[in-house]
């Protein structure tokens, strides 16, 4: 997730239960682009011990090849092409999800990457731009370019994050492709992850937003798969997680107000599991100082016996229907 799940969050997540593999934020690729050192640090300073794939977004053939070759000088698990970003500022440049309108261009980009990669080549995609008319053709293009893993978000680009995912397309991809397919889109709970894997035959799930809201989710999925008792975080655990987030994201070169504003990108997701009425989200979005934020966390997470209450594993449905800053974050 762009501007959110960078090195700081990835390393923090390892304390709660790492996923089996990570994907970086996307490296923007164009004629003047250079490898972003901040994104690169999530590869070179990864403390989890898990594989990290370098995600690219672009369509310039020469420079996609250049980036792929340069990134292979670092300990990447593979190169991942983003065909899923639904942000208008991205798809209007015919990159990310915008490329799903042009299957032949996807074929050329993947062909160049395949020639440039002595490592696994993977793709992160959606089922189409406005509809899924090109979906079978695009799957065949993945096959012909020997893509080794496909992460499929079960919505169209225009569907954004509010359309209902159609997981039948995941099953189609599983049946049509020889490589593993990861299911993405509204994997909100550990039990839903296991249920969707069972129904579609996917090799696993890709989780973004729910891992911010519930950093224990990967641990919980594994516990359920192993038929062990699943850890249930309390509101006190959630409060400690927010403190850890602040510390992990802290930079001594920016003001406290900017630190808090940066944290709000994460709290927009965390708040979906706090109170059904949305009071935490409403008040949190209006604070500027850490002390003010701590008072709100105390009010909603600790006081009046709330500390021992269990955090909701499901995001509160009424809050999901309300617009928030999460819609401006490219999650692929």
pLDDT tens digits for range 214-237: 999 999 999 999 999 999 999 999
List the chain residues with pLDDT less than 50.
323-332
Looking at 3.40.50.1980, 3.20.20.70, 3.60.15.10, 3.30.565.10, the CATH number of the domain 7-225 comes to 3.20.20.70
Tell me the C-alpha distance between 56 and 70, whole Å: 12
**Could you tell me the pTM of the whole model?**
0.93
Q: How many CB atoms lie within 10 A of CB 303?
A: 11
Query: b/e for 92-101, b at 16 or more Cβ within 10 A?
Result: eeebbbbbbe
Report pLDDT for 4. 75
3-state secondary structure 109-145: HHHHHHHHCCCCEEEEEECCCCCCCCHHHHHHHHHHC
Element (H, E) at 295: helix 290-297
Tokens linked to 38: 């901040």
- C-alpha distances (whole Å) from 123 to each of 54, 151, 297 are 11, 6, 39
Provide the β-strand partners of residue 83. 125
CB burial of residue 249 (10 Å; 0-12, 13-18, 19+): middle
- Collapsing DSSP to helix, strand or coil, 188 comes out as coil
- C-alpha distances (whole Å) from 278 to each of 274, 290, 322 are 8, 20, 10
Report pLDDT for 321. 57
Q: Where are the beta strands (DSSP E) in 189-317?
A: 204-206
Report pLDDT for 195. 97
Q: Where are the domains of the chain?
A: 7-225, 235-312
For the segment 107-165, what is each residue's pLDDT rounded down to a tens digit? 999 999 999 999 999 999 999 999 999 999 999 999 999 999 999 999 999 999 999 99
Residue by residue, DSSP assigns 256-267 as: HHHHHHHHHHHH
- Collapsing DSSP to helix, strand or coil, 153 comes out as strand
Tokens linked to 248: 């992990």
């Amino acid at each position: 997730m762009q501007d959110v799940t960078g090195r700081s969050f990835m390393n923090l997540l390892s304390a709660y239960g790492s996923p089996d593999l990570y994907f970086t934020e996307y490296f923007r690729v164009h004629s003047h682009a250079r490898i972003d050192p901040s994104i690169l640090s999530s590869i070179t300073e990864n403390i989890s011990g898990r594989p990290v794939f370098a995600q690219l977004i672009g369509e310039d053939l020469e420079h996609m090849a250049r980036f792929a070759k340069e990134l292979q000088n670092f300990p990447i698990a593979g190169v991942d092409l983003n065909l899923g970003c639904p942000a208008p500022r991205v798809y209007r440049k015919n990159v990310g999800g915008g490329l799903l309108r042009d299957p032949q261009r996807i074929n050329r980009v993947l062909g160049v990457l395949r020639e440039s990669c002595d490592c696994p080549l993977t793709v992160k995609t959606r089922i189409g731009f406005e509809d899924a008319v090109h979906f079978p053709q695009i799957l065949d293009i993945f096959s012909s370019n020997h893509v080794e893993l496909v992460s499929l978000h079960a919505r169209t680009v225009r569907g954004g994050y509010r359309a209902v995912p159609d997981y039948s397309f995941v099953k189609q991809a599983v049946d049509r492709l020889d490589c593993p397919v990861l299911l993405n889109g509204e994997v909100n709970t550990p039990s839903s992850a296991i249920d969707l894997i069972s129904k579609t035959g996917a090799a696993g799930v890709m989780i973004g937003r729910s891992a911010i809201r519930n950093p224990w989710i990967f641990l919980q999925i594994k516990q359920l798969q192993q038929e062990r008792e699943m850890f249930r975080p309390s509101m006190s655990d959630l409060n400690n997680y927010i403190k850890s987030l602040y510390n992990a994201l802290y930079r001594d070169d920016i003001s406290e107000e900017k630190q808090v504003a940066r944290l709000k990108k994460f709290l927009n997701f965390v708040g979906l599991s706090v109170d059904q009425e949305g009071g935490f989200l409403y008040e949190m979005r209006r604070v500027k100082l850490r002390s003010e934020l701590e008072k709100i966390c105390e009010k909603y997470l600790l006081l009046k016996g709330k500390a021992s209450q269990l955090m909701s594993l499901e995001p509160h449905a009424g809050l999901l229907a309300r617009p928030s800053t999460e819609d401006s974050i490219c999650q692929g």
